[in-house]
């Protein structure tokens, strides 16, 4: 597999919108009559052919009382990620080059909304988050007790032994809790479930550090956030795409602060 740079910048690369539109056009051509069920599970994947099959095998066709479908957005992989995703029964949308995890997720959100999904869940392609925790999350949405549900490793546990990263999870969650006035214990969890409308009404611009942007925007727009305990497992295969801890942390902090200021200013200006 050839090596290349992974897009981790704070801004989208030039031509990203054209790449996304081309991918959407290709998806519609390959699935012309696809009407999606109430729940769509979006997985953004980059070079995850080794880990993805076991992830897909764990996701049942029904979660709680809802029919579910998996949508894998291949973020410009150079391996067989798209092929193994299709073999595992997932719908697949392919971006022609690596655009960033946030771009891939937003592409999946758009497909899910346009296909009629009522709820959208997310999982990572590396197998660190357990789909068995999704029924409890969907139950909160269906019972109208929350609009946005996070699977929290802080309420459960983590198998990750990286002390710096674990400290960062706690620090940034407390920072977001302080800024928004809403208690959050795991702001960067990849296991989430939400009303599909949130992905349309909350502004999202980050190509990589998107978890805090969506969460802060949802809170400040008045959506109800809840958490359920989960276990963050070790990666099934392959290597993390997040990069160096210090650089990741600095960029994540910048996104938190910029998103908070942007959303607060937007609310003040519109009131």
CA distance 22 to 38: 26
Query: What's residue 14's pLDDT?
Result: 94
pLDDT at 2 over 50: no
CA distance 197 to 150: 16
DSSP per-residue codes, 36-86: --SEEEEEEESS-TTTHHHHHHT--SEETTEEEEEEEEEES-SSSHHHHHH
Q: pLDDT tens for residues 13-69? A: 999 999 999 999 999 999 998 899 999 999 999 999 999 999 999 999 999 999 999
Number of domains observed in the structure of the chain: 1
Give the range of the structural domain holding residue 109, as residue numbers without chain letter. 16-270
Is residue 119 one of the residues assigned to a domain? yes
For the record, the structure tokens of 100 come out as 């960033």
Is residue 11 one of the residues assigned to a domain? no
Across-strand partners of 42? Answer: 71, 122
CA distance 140 to 149: 8
Is residue 163 one of the residues assigned to a domain? yes
Full-model pTM: 0.93
CATH of the domain at 232: 3.90.550.10
CA distance 34 to 20: 19
């Amino acid at each position: 597999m050839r090596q290349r740079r992974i897009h981790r910048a704070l801004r989208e690369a030039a031509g990203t919108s054209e790449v996304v539109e081309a991918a959407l056009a290709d998806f519609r051509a390959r699935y012309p009559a696809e009407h999606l069920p109430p729940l769509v599970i979006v997985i953004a994947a980059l070079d995850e052919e080794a880990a993805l099959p076991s992830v897909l095998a764990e996701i049942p066709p029904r979660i709680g009382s809802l029919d579910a479908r998996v949508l894998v957005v291949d973020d410009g992989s150079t391996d067989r990620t798209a092929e193994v995703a299709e073999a595992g029964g997932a719908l697949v949308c392919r971006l022609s080059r690596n655009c960033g995890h946030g771009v891939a997720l937003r592409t999946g959100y758009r497909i899910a909304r346009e296909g009629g999904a009522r709820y959208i869940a997310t999982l990572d392609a590396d197998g660190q988050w357990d789909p068995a925790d999704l029924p409890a999350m969907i139950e909160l949405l269906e019972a109208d007790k929350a609009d946005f549900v996070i699977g929290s490793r802080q309420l459960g546990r983590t198998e990750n032994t990286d002390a710096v990263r674990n400290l960062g999870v706690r620090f940034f969650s407390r920072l977001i809790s302080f800024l928004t006035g809403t208690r959050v214990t795991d702001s960067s969890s990849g296991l989430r479930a939400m009303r599909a409308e949130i992905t349309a009404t909350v502004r999202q611009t980050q190509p990589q550090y998107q978890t805090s942007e969506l969460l802060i925007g949802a809170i400040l727009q008045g959506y109800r956030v809840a958490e359920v305990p989960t276990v963050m497992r070790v990666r099934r295969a392959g290597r993390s795409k997040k990069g160096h801890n210090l650089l990741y942390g600095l960029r994540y902090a910048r996104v938190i602060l910029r998103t908070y200021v942007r959303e607060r200013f937007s609310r003040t200006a519109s009131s």
